[in-house]
């Protein structure tokens, strides 16, 4: 019997650990094509590099298993006008 494929969460965690927005786009596209629908694929395809970079850091901060990367991602978010501890969408005025 072939080995089981790692869970989506494990695959996503490994991909986020690379801190590569282009790799995130490729991962999300593969996932949307495999498990989602055409709208999800289109949504990922239309994200700008800046949106993907922000998404990458938000996803890192949201995952307890990536705690060793939290500080760097929080700093990145803060430098780009996003308070990772803020309410709503975290945007600073």
- Residues 17-55: tens digit of each pLDDT: 999 999 999 999 999 999 999 999 999 999 999 999 999
Q: What is the pLDDT of residue 87?
A: 59
Distance (Å, whole) CA 90 – CA 88: 6
Q: What is the pLDDT of residue 52?
A: 97
Q: What is the pLDDT of residue 89?
A: 56
Q: What is the pLDDT of residue 9?
A: 94
Q: CA of 11: how far to CAs of 17, 26, 39, 81, in Å?
A: 10, 12, 22, 29
Angle at the Cα of 17 from the Cα atoms of 73 and 54, rounded to 5 degrees: 40
What's the pTM value of the predicted model, to 2 decimals? 0.85
Q: Which residue, 64, 57, 70, is CA-closest to 19? A: 57
- Convert the pLDDT of each residue in 60-78 to its tens digit: 999 999 999 999 999 999 9
Q: What is the pLDDT of residue 86?
A: 64
Residue 88 — pLDDT band, cuts 50, 70, 90? low
């Amino acid at each position: 019997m072939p080995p089981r494929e790692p869970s989506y969460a494990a695959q996503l965690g490994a991909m986020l650990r690379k801190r590569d927005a282009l790799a995130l786009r490729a991962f999300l596209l593969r996932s949307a094509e495999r498990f989602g629908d055409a709208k999800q694929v289109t949504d990922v395809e239309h994200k700008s590099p800046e949106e993907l970079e922000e998404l990458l850091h938000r996803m890192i901060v949201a995952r307890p298993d990536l705690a060793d990367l939290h500080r760097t991602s929080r700093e990145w978010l803060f430098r780009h006008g996003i308070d990772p501890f803020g309410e709503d969408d975290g945007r600073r005025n």
